Structure 1
Amino acid sequence: ISFENETFDIVIANMLLHHVNDIPKALSEVNRVLKTGGIFYCATFGENGVVNYLASLFKDEVNQDLENRTFTLQNGKRYLSRYFNSVDTLLYDDELQVTSIDDLVKYIQSFKGISEIGSLEEEIIRKRLESEFNNGMLIIPKEYGMFIARKES
């Protein structure tokens, strides 16, 4: 990060760290630019959310785990504790209640090029989704949360 040491009171990484290849380096840099007493807020996905759920629906058609586990709710505190004095976790309990198969088919097809699931034939996707809908709805778990890490010394 191209800022001087102890520049910021607060740093925010909103749904970002799961894209970062070198998590220790990123967190070291965040710690460096935070002032003593500063707070790092970072929101991230869990390993049991939307994408992983959709991947599980098509496990017979493709052999792929879509979820990036670089930085998740499950392992984030372990990473953060190496660089920050205290780390709290806030979980956001939520789910998607999907009522349109067409919209969900389009969403899954948008994975094309980054996932085998997006390359499945529309009819295969549609039939699988139809079998999962119950009373006109498919409930998909979402797993999101935020870590609040403090630099105390």
Structure 2
Amino acid sequence: MNWFFEQLNLPDKATVLELGCGNGELWAKNLCKIPKAWDITLTDFSAGMLEDAKKNLNSKRFKFKLVDAQDIPYSKNSFDVVIANHMLYHVTDIGKAFSEIYRVLKPNGYFYASTVGKNHMKEMRDIVKRFNSQEITTDSWNLTEKFQLENGLAEVSKWFKNVTLKRYKDNLKVTSSGPLADYIFSMPGNTKNILDETELHNLKNFLQSEIDKNGYIYITKDTGFFQGIKSSEP
């Protein structure tokens, strides 16, 4: 979140809209860096997430609104910047979302859309498959396929000019089986209730055996963002 915020090439005075703000982590981790003249509106499709953002930020700096990215309730040319941070792959109709984003963005305004690539957490997926449990699924890792680093450039370029892609170079070296198991069960479709104590113990032992081979499990983090500019209107 710190890296992404630092990439926002914005003036000291700007109207900013974030779609799918989640728990507001982008802003919570960068509160001291936000220019005083920014007018920031945070939105999410989930009322629960929006409440979490309000609690986490606890600041009058922000406006909050329940919004569907496919039907943004703001007038044409309302914002200097629109941010979609790891959320477009959740949208049912991405074309409709882009149309709405384009509409509310001012001419020469900036659009930022972050997402993951196909290789994101690939080692984790391979390990889960090797564990070969019918109860544990890796299907949820495929939920991002609709809008990834590999196909997002073409999508964004349909609507915006001067589109660029910037990748965040990072990785994980995990040395404990506990966090890996917790992550697996945090994915949609997987809960600890599907395994009995023996099966759960076997999973953690399997993960730990993978760690013991090299001292850690290396996991690729494949993330980044697209930046585009709305054309000037005649």
Normalising TM by the smaller chain, what interval?
0.7 to 0.9
Could you say which structure has the higher helix fraction? 2
Amino acid at match of 2:217: L
Partners of 1:129 and 1:142 lie apart in 2 by 19
Q: Which has the higher contact order (CA 8 A, sep 6+)?
A: 1
Q: Secondary structure at the match of 2:80?
A: strand
* TM-score computed with the length of structure 1 as normaliser: 0.86
Larger CA Rg, structure 1 vs 2: 2
Percent identity, please.
Answer: 39
Amino acid at match of 2:226: F
1:4-153 to 2 correspondence within 5 Å? 4-50=75-121, 52-59=122-129, 60-62=132-134, 64-67=138-141, 68=143, 69-111=145-187, 114-116=188-190, 119=194, 121-133=199-211, 134-153=213-232
Partners of 1:109 and 1:124 lie apart in 2 by 15
Kept in 2: contact 1:94–1:141 (CA 8 A) = yes
Q: Tell me, which stretches of 5 or more residues in structure 2 are unaligned?
A: 1-71
Aligned-residue CA RMSD (Å): 2.0
Shift of the 117–79 alpha-carbon distance from structure 1 to 2, 3 Å rule, reads: farther
* TM-score computed with the length of structure 2 as normaliser: 0.58
Kept in 1: contact 2:176–2:208 (CA 8 A) = no
Q: Tell me, which stretches of 5 or more residues in structure 1 are unaligned?
A: none
Number of positions where the alignment pairs a residue of Structure 1 with one of Structure 2: 150
